[in-house]
Amino acid sequence: MRRTFRRRPDVPEGDTIFRTARTLQRAIGGQEITRFETMLPRLARVEIDLRVTGRSVEWVEPRGKWLLMHFSGGLILLTHLQMNGSWHIYRPGERWKRRRSDMRILIGTPKMLAVAFSVQIAEFHSAASVERRKGLAALGPALLDERFDEEEAVRRLRRMAGTEIGDALLSQSALAGIGNIFKSETCFTSRVNPFCPVACLSDADLLRIIRNARQLLLANAAPAEAAGAVTYFGVRRTTGRADPAQELWVYQRRGEPCRRCGTPIEARKQGAGARTTFWCPLCQPAAAKPAAAR
Q: Is residue 113 a part of any domain in this protein? A: yes
pLDDT at 236: 83
Last residue of some domain: 132, 162, 187?
A: 132
Of 171, 151, 270, which Cα lies nearest the Cα of 211?
151
- Which of 24, 68, 22, 61 is closest to 220 using CA atoms? 22
| Integer Cα distance of 206 and 73 in angstroms | 42
Do 51 and 114 reside in the same domain of the chain? yes
Asked if 207 and 259 sit in the same domain, the reply is yes
Average pLDDT per consecutive 10 residues, the chain (294 residues; last block may be shorter): 40 89 95 97 95 97 95 97 92 94 97 95 96 92 94 97 97 94 97 97 96 95 55 71 89 96 97 94 77 40
What's at 144, amino acid-wise? L
Active site residues per annotation: 12-13, 65, 275
CATH number for position 271: 1.10.8.50
The rounded distance, in Å, linking the Cα atoms of 178 and 14 is 6
Q: How far apart are CA 282 and CA 191, in angstroms?
A: 10
Residues 127 and 187 in one domain: no
Q: Are 172 and 65 in contact (CB under 8 A)?
A: yes
Helix or strand or coil: residue 151?
A: helix
- Give the per-residue pLDDT at 7: 45
* Inside any domain, residue 3: no
The reported pLDDT for the residue numbered 10 is 55
* Distance, CA of 176 to CA of 158 (rounded, Å): 15
- Rounded to whole angstroms, how far apart are CA atoms 99 and 219? 31
Closest CA to 71 of 50, 89, 88: 50
Q: Looking at the structure, do residues 40 and 91 belong to the same domain, yes or no?
A: yes
d(CA 177, CA 171): 9
Question: Is residue 79 a part of any domain in this protein?
Answer: yes
SS3 category, 8: coil
- To the nearest 10°, the Cα dihedral for 199, 153, 165, 204? -60
Nearest to 179 by CA among 84, 82, 262, 91: 82
Domain co-membership, 95 together with 161: no
Residue 83 lies in a domain: yes
Q: Is residue 202 part of a domain?
A: yes
Domain assignment present for 7: no
Burial tier of 2 (Cβ tally within 10 Å: 0-12, 13-18, 19+)? exposed
Helix/strand/coil for 184: helix
On whether residue 2 sits in a domain, the answer given is: no
Q: For residue 229, what pLDDT is reported?
A: 44
The single-letter DSSP state of residue 5 is P
What is the tally of structural domains in the chain? 2
Domain that holds residue 180: 150-279
* Res 291: pLDDT: 42
Closest CA to 201 of 210, 34, 256, 68: 210
165 with 88, same domain? no
62 and 166, same domain (yes or no): no
263 in the same domain as 155: yes
Dihedral angle at the C-alpha atoms of 52, 228, 80, 159, nearest 10 degrees?
-130
